[in-house]
Amino acid sequence: MSGKDIIEVSDASFQDEVLKSDIPVIVDFWAAWCGPCRMVGPIVEEIASEYVGKVKVAKLNVDDNKETATKYGIMSIPTILKFESGSVSKQIVGAMPKTALIKELDI
């Protein structure tokens, strides 16, 4: 992961970084072996750098953080969840172009 505006979250840090955030958080659930995840990754990095201060962008590796992935019912990746005030407000499964992703996430 190379995006400087993206935080890497884990089962241990998820509550503090995502659920307790005072701004909306977009979480990219991914895995290193996932081809579509590698397609979405650069788009997520662009969103992170373009919307600094408006949303927090995080990535969670589902292979390393099974507890959180299971809690949110992540069955397919990439899955992107938008959290507002500690609750899921949007869910997107699969890869899509940047403009569609921004529109879908309402940012």
Assigned domain for 59 exists? yes
**Residue (of 93, 99, 97) closest to 28 by Cα position:** 93
In sequence order, the 6+-apart residues with CB closer than 8 A to the CB of 76 are 93, 94
Assigned domain for 28 exists? yes
Residue 82's DSSP bridge partners are: 26, 90
- Report yes or no: 14 and 60 within 8 Å, Cβ to Cβ: yes
Whether 17 has a pLDDT exceeding 50, the answer reads yes
Assigned domain for 73 exists? yes
Whether 14 has a pLDDT exceeding 90, the answer reads yes
Assigned domain for 20 exists? yes
Active-site residues, by number, are 34, 37
Kindly report the pTM of this predicted structure: 0.94
Q: Quick count: other Cβ atoms within 10 Å of Cβ 81?
A: 23
pLDDT confidence of residue 57: 97
Domain that holds residue 44: 6-105
- CATH code for the domain of 83: 3.40.30.10
Assigned domain for 1 exists? no
Domains identified in the chain, total number:
1
